[in-house]
Amino acid sequence: MTLSIEQFRYATYFAPRGKVRMQNLGNQVSQKYLLPNDKIIGLIGDAGSGKSLFIKGMFPGLELTNDDDGINTRPSPLMRDYAQLNYRAHTYHIDVRFEAAFTQMFELVDAVNQAVQNKKRVVIEHFDDLYPHLNMNADLLIGIGEEVIVSRPNLFGPIPDDIKSTVYQSIQYRRMAHSAEDLLVHVLDEDYNITCDGHGDVKHGFILSFNKKPKASIAVLEKKVKLLIKDDLTISYHDSTHIKIGEKIDQYCTGPRTHVNHTGQIKNFKLLKEYFYDPQKKTYELVGIVSDETIEDIHKINHFAD
């Protein structure tokens, strides 16, 4: 093992919204942190956080037993090969919560142990549910909330509950920010015929990028979005690229599962009061946040907190 891996504690990334961005991040994490001899890859995150998309990016072509498109494989390849005592694949996937509906926990534990002993790799969603029974940690432990946390545990941690407590608490900000972002995109398109040229992330918020400075008043945009929030409209999954907002709004969205259920659940929404020019990207940036913090210096939005 190289010195850089021995010194590695953890890394954090903004958890992107949208299928392509999440898969791209999974691919980057795989290239940077995955070692050939890693046998257990544990993922932790609430429903709709993007675990399946992230895994598809890390392991292209891997057969998922229960993914975001509702594809359920029964029996799972791991449990099938466990029953036949013939581990044919190099890498297996298992969703503990899904599999637990059909399989006793002790069988899941034994199947994972047997696969590892046969030098196979197992990618485990909801690893926090299996860990108390497995009696060993993951080689690579990944949590997905508002941020993606990548860690390589040792004897002294982190343990899955450490990751879980962080990502389950923070994902509320990601859901609120994503929902507010889609409301703003709708207002820009519907009322101003303005389309943004890119999307980005900040702590507890989002960025919309424009190649030309929009003429829309930021104060008016904020007011319009807050009215939609006040209306407490339902937000629901429509298809893989659209959400439904209320009864009338069919909104394009590439991350349709990462939203609050009602617009009224978006708290402390505000837009920063100017379009910020980014000299590196040569774009104008509009920043929205869902936080009660007062932003006095834009360079400190992504601050490191305790």
- Cα separation, 200 vs 141, in Å, equals 25
- Cα separation, 286 vs 214, in Å, equals 9
| CA-closest candidate to residue 146, choices 13, 291, 272, 57 | 13
CA separation (Å) from 207 to 17, 107, 245, 274?
12, 46, 21, 12
**pTM over cut 0.85:** yes
CA 295 to chain centre: 25
pLDDT tens figures, 23-70: 999 999 999 999 999 999 999 999 989 999 999 999 999 989 875 555
To the nearest 10 degrees (0 to 180), the angle between helices 105-117 and 127-134 is 80
Architecture of domain 3-158: 3-Layer(aba) Sandwich (3.40)
| CA-closest candidate to residue 140, choices 130, 148, 132, 150 | 150
3-state secondary structure 193-222: CCCCCEEEEECCEEEEEECCCCCCCHHHHH
pLDDT tens figures, 170-213: 999 999 999 999 999 999 999 999 999 999 999 999 999 999 99
Q: Which residue has the tokens 């070692």?
A: 35
- Lowest mean pLDDT of 61-65, 72-76, 79-83, 249-253, name the range: 72-76
pLDDT tens figures, 103-120: 999 999 999 999 999 999
Question: Does the structure show a pLDDT above 90 at 121?
Answer: yes
Question: Does the structure show a pLDDT above 80 at 300?
Answer: no
CA separation (Å) from 104 to 101, 110, 207, 240, 298?
8, 10, 45, 33, 51
Q: What is the CATH number of domain 172-300?
A: 3.30.980.10
Entry field: residues in the chain: 306
pLDDT tens figures, 122-160: 999 999 999 999 989 999 999 999 999 999 998 888 999
Domain boundaries, the chain: 3-158, 172-300
CA separation (Å) from 297 to 31, 237, 272, 286, 301?
35, 36, 11, 15, 7
pLDDT tens figures, 153-166: 988 889 999 999 99
pLDDT of residue 68: 55
pLDDT of residue 6: 62
| CA-closest candidate to residue 86, choices 122, 120, 123, 124 | 120
